[in-house]
Every structure is written in C-alpha cells, then in structure tokens.
Amino acid sequence: MFFLTTAIDYTNGSPHIGHAYEKVLADVIARYRRLRGDDAYFLTGVDQHGQKVQQTAEKEGVSPAEFVERTTKKFSALWEKLGVQYDGWAETTNDLHKDCVRKILTDLKEKGQLYKKAKKDLYSVRQEQFLTDRDRNEQGEFGPEWGEVVEIEEENWYFKLSAHADWLKNFIETTPDFIEPAFRKSEVLNALERSPGLDLCISRPKSRLRWGIEFPFDPDYVTYVWFDALINYISFAGYLADPSTGLPNFDQLWAKNDRRPVHIIGKDILVPAHGIYWPTMLHAMGFADDKIPQLLVHGWWNIRGEKMSKSIGNIVDPNELADKFGVEAVRYYLVRDIVTGKDSDFDLDRLIMLFNTELANELGNLCNRALNMSQRFTGGILHHGGPLQDEDLALQKSLVDSIAAYQAAMDDYDISKGLEALNRHVVHCNGYAERQKPWELNKNPENKDRVSTILYHFAESVVHIAVLISPVLPEITAKLAEQLNLPGLTGFQLDDLKWGILPDGHEIGKPKPVFPRIVLEEPKA
C-alpha cells in the first residue's frame, strides 16, 4: 500500500496557488502509483484550530465553527474543481480526530512524556508559539515572520522533546530515505544542534485560546495547534480507532505496511514541525523507526522572486486560473515548471508557452496525425501495415527509452523530468512524420501499406503517451481514450504498455482536438 498525505491547509484564509501545487503534486503521485500497480491511499484535509482562526472569526463577527465551515468549503471545492482525488479527508474539528488526540495525550502522560510547568518566555502572537534562540535570525533578532513578540509567564504542559534528541539525530543520520530531497536533512540537523535541550509546549490556557482540543486531564487547557494538526496523519488513518467509526484500517495503511507513509510538505514546515516534533512524537508513542514516515519536501512558488503574500497583494488564485485556461492547463503547469524540492517563479507567460508548445503544438500535432490522418487516409481503420523500416524501429526504441526515463523520474517524484521524457518521444514522432511524409506517400495507392505502418506508429504512440500522461491530465486521457475508441485505456497500468496494444483492423473514433491553443485577447488600445 502506498499511503501518502499532504500538509493540511490552514482554514484562516483562501487557498492560493501554493496550496494547489501541493495537492496537485500529491494527486499526480497517487495516480502514478496506481499506474505502477500499487494500491494508493491519499489523505489530505484542513487544519481548523488555533489562534489565527479564532481571531479572524472574531473580526468577521462569526463563531470559529461557522468560520471554518465556510473556509473549509473553499478548499474542498477547489480540490474538486482541480480533479484532486483524495481517499481520506481530514478535518481537525472532527470528533474522531479529537478523540485520537486526547487518547494520545493521555497515553503520553502515562508514559511520563509530559509535564506541567510555569515558564516566563518570549511569545510570537502571530505564530502562536513560544520563541527560543533557535528562532532568531542571523542578526540575532526575531524576524518579521514572527510579528509582535511579547513576554508571557504561563503554566503549561510540555512534551519531553529533548529526551529524544539523541535518538532523532541518530535516526536522521542513519535513515537515508527519511527526508527527500536529501539536501534538506542538514536543516533539521542544524536546528537540533542549535537547541538540543528544548521541550515543546503543547498546551494553551483557555483564558487565551478556546478554539482547540481540550486536554483530557486538565480542562483549563486546549492543545497547541501543531500538536493537534500533526496527529491528523494517524487519526484519519485509523490509529486507536474502533472499526465502527468507518476510518481506514491502521494496520493496512501504516502499522503493518512494509512501505513508509509519505508526507508531502512545503519547505517552510520541515523545521521544526515535521522534521523534529513529529518523528519525536511518534517515537515517544512507541512507533518503531521503520514506521516513521518519509518527508517529501517541496519548494515554493514565488512571484518574481518574492513570497506570495496578502500584504504585497501578489496572491495567485487557482480558481481564476482554472476558469481562464482550463483545469488541465493549470495542473500541467504546476508540476511541469518546478523541480520537486526546489522553488520556482510563477509566470503566466510560461504557463501559456508550455501549454502551447508542449501540448497544443507537439502532442496536439501527434494526436491530429494519429486520428485525423487515419480517418482521412485509411477510413479510420488502423493496420499494422507492411515490413518495418529502421525509422519505425527507431521510433519504437524512442518510446521504450522515454518510458524508462519517465518511470525513473516519476519514481523519484520528479514530475517535470517525467513529462520531459514523454515530450522527447512526442518530438521524435513529429520528426518521424516530417521525414516520412505520409501525406505525400498517400497520393500513390501503391504506398497503402507504408502509410498504414506510419499511421499505426502515430496511433500506438498516442495510446502510450495518453496512459503515461494520465496522472497529470486525467480528463484529456479520457477524451483520447474515447477518440481512440479504446475505453480500457483509462484503466491501463505501466505493465500493459507493450508495443502492439491496438489490434490490426482497430477502428478509431471521431477525432476532436483536445489541446486548443491558448490565445490571449489583445489588450484594447
């Protein structure tokens, strides 16, 4: 079982292109794993507690519950629009999740992992957390990301993070597949090095924050939002749950799975939340080292080198983009123009250019050649044709090479490289067309067999490419399956991709362009 999750999005605002990227990336990986023959289970959802939500709801004059219900819908509606197909949906105000968090708190307390203590400390109101020297920047100051920093004296519950610092350091150093890409490992190790002795404050007094999960053994407190949110990955996977709840079977997804679950997260939430708190929490709960999930850490979409932010006013709205350019153009761009793990600059001109060149021109042209020419030259019937020439064999080899490169890249979560590998074959096919010129050959009836062979090579290539591109463009694949008159294509797996899928005499359906060029209206003078 391939169990993957994304970060759960804060519901104190609206989804932007960064949230959309992460969900599309996860969706593409889940769909690809299914192509690969794996059973994949994809969990995503929303993070609904915390001070920010309480504050924004207050400002808007509604209860936090009403507020999160409204904002949650914006996220789920967008995922539906973008074709993000998840199997499990996590909402942290769900009672089943709250039960799980309380059971974990009780269990950790019984295991001696929690203690209560009064402490005077610096606190970031914006980030809802106590600050340590680790959070100071190179100038020794707290940067603007922390907002207002105040000193607070408070009695709180603490989790003994420091008791496991040596275990964590050793785990990170000896587990090469824990953090992907590997270069991010040092960020966690450096953070550990700077403050190995710190424990984690996991409660907030109700006098300050009511919108959270109440402590099971101390009703004056609610649970710190990160401690609550991280637990979603196991609570919605059925951890400690009764089968009557309808939650998944935890053994199948996690405890007895021979593959680590994969958490897809942005680089900003690696340290400290996912790289330090989460593995330590799991370890303290009793999870074995081989049951600690893998972290796939992606980079950020920026705008002209700058962070997207409400205050700068440069937020890109995925809803608007999808309405304007189509859902699949957006999906394609979001995984094509970024290397997983690195940052990228969002650029509308590149979205249009990549769609128009790689999809409308190259792949669109190949589909047109396979479908339209077959309709016109051979009455829509495909034949294996005559003896193969070197050019035909070279085309078949190009396909085999492309599939191998695609698979290696996709296994490595490098979607952009995978798509590049497919494009190489499409470009090869179009070059083959230009050299073979079936439209010229077709003028002489003696070339009938040769024309059939060439058209068959186009059509067979389209079948393969349609399957391989389906994790990114599922709707377009379905349209191509219809036009190829091959309904089974949408259920194909990688193992089914052997040359000769289309039988001799196969009749294709009615061709219809699936990649209309994006043409922007000229601005009015």
Least distance from ligand MSP to the Cβ atom of residue 334, Å: 9
Please report how close the Cβ of residue 506 comes to ligand MSP at its closest, in angstroms. 43
> Scanning residues 83 to 112, which ones bind ligand MSP (CB under 6 A)?
none
Please give the residues from 413 up to 472 whose contact with ligand MSP meets the rule CB under 6 A.
none
CB 334 within 8 A of CB 20: yes
CB of 65 to ligand MSP, least distance (A): 18
Q: How does 49-87 read in b/e, with b if 16+ C-beta sit within 10 Å?
A: bbbbbbbbbeeeeeebeebbeebbeebbebbeebbbebe
| Residue partners of 407: CB distance under 8 A and separation at least 6 | 36, 418, 494
Instruction: Count Cβ atoms below 10 Å from residue 273 Cβ, excluding itself.
Output: 16
Choices 204-212, 262-270, 321-329, 504-512; region in contact with ligand MSP by CB under 6 A: 262-270
- Residues numbered 178 to 197 that lie near ligand MSP (CB under 6 A) are none
Q: How far is the CB of 71 from ligand MSP (least distance, A)?
A: 11
9 contacts ligand MSP (rule: CB under 6 A): yes
Half-sphere exposure of 234 (CA within 13 A, CB side): 25
301 binding ligand MSP? (CB under 6 A): yes
Interacting span for ligand MSP (CB under 6 A) from 19-27, 34-42, 424-432, 483-491: 19-27
Q: Which residues contact 513 (CB under 8 A, 6 or more apart)?
A: 364, 367, 368
Nearer to ligand MSP, 111 or 342 (CB): 342
Nearer residue to ligand MSP within complex by CB, 5 or 407: 5
Q: How many residues bind ligand MSP (CB under 6 A)?
A: 19
Q: Which stretch binds ligand MSP (CB under 6 A): 14-22, 402-410, 432-440, 479-487?
A: 14-22
**Is residue 308 part of the contact set for ligand MSP (CB under 6 A)?**
yes
Residues 213-232 that bind ligand MSP (CB under 6 A): 229-230, 232
CA atoms within 13 A on the CB side of 390: 1
DSSP string, 375-420: HHHHTTEE---SPPPHHHHHHHHHHHHHHHHHHHHHHTT-HHHHHH
Quick one: which segment of 2-10, 73-81, 280-288, 399-407 binds ligand MSP (CB under 6 A)?
2-10
> Out of 4, 8, 234, 334, which residue is the one contacting ligand MSP (CB under 6 A)?
8
Does 21 sit near ligand MSP (CB under 6 A)?
yes
Q: Which stretch binds ligand MSP (CB under 6 A): 6-14, 105-113, 125-133, 168-176?
A: 6-14
In the block, residue with structure tokens 């479908």: 371
CA distances to 43, 297, 468 from 30, in Å: 10, 16, 13
Contact 131, 142 (CB under 8 A): yes
Q: What are phi and psi of 389, to 5 degrees?
A: -105, 170
Q: What share of the chain is helix, strand, coil (3-state, %, to 5)?
A: 55, 15, 30
Q: Which of 27, 47, 358, 460 binds ligand MSP (CB under 6 A)?
A: 47
DSSP states of 278-331 as a string? Answer: HHHHHHHHT--GGGSPEEEEE--EEBTTBPP-TTTT----HHHHHHHH-HHHHH
- Nearest distance, CB of residue 230 and ligand MSP, angstroms: 5
By beta-carbon proximity to ligand MSP, the closer residue of 238 and 511 is 238
Residue 236 neighbours by CB distance under 10 Å: 26
User: Could you give the string, one character per residue 379-398, with x where binding to ligand MSP holds by CB under 6 A and - elsewhere?
Assistant: --------------------
Q: At what angle do helices 415-436 and 390-411 cross, to 10 degrees?
A: 170
Contact criterion met (CB below 8 Å) for 220 and 205: yes
Q: Does 42 bind ligand MSP (CB under 6 A)?
A: no
Nearer to ligand MSP, 315 or 478 (CB): 315
Spatial neighbors of 96 by CB under 8 A, at least 6 apart, are 235, 236, 241, 245, 247
At 354, the amino acid letter reads L
Contact pick of 300, 372, 386, 396 for ligand MSP (by CB under 6 A): 300
Binding segment toward ligand MSP, per CB under 6 A, in 8-16, 352-360, 370-378, 395-403: 8-16
State which residue has the least CB distance to ligand MSP.
266
Could you tell me the smallest distance in angstroms from the CB atom of residue 300 to ligand MSP?
A: 4
Angle at 59 between CA 56 and CA 60, to 5 degrees: 90
- The footprint of ligand MSP (CB under 6 A) covers 7-10, 18-19, 21-22, 47, 229-230, 232, 265-266, 268-269, 300-301, 308
